């Protein structure tokens, strides 16, 4: 509450950060899908992009 006294401003900043997070995660997912990296064990631990978006939507602030 102290950081963002204006809820609209705070909401737009959070939305921008979450949008950038999704874009970077998508890019990371594509990099790990390259033929040289497909055998990495860490690739199996990644969550689906759709699940990430659903979880972020649950916690999206509505002011």
* Sign of the CA dihedral running 2, 6, 21, 47: positive
Residue 2 forms part of a structural domain: no
Residue 15 forms part of a structural domain: yes
Domain residues for 35?
8-59
Instruction: Give me the number of domains the chain comprises.
Output: 1
Contact 59, 7 (CB under 8 A): no
This prediction has a pTM of 0.75
Alpha helices in the chain (DSSP H): 7-32, 49-58
Flag whether 55 is in a domain: yes
Half-sphere CA count of 5, side-chain side, radius 13 A: 1
pLDDT in tens, 18-60: 999 999 999 999 999 999 988 889 888 999 999 999 998 887 7
Choose between 30 and 2: higher pLDDT.
Answer: 30
């Amino acid at each position: 509450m102290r950081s963002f006294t204006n809820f609209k401003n705070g909401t737009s900043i959070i939305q921008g950060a979450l949008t950038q997070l999704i874009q970077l995660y998508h890019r990371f997912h594509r990099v790990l899908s390259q033929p040289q990296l497909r055998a990495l064990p860490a690739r199996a631990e990644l969550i689906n992009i759709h699940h990430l978006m659903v979880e972020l939507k649950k916690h999206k602030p509505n002011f």
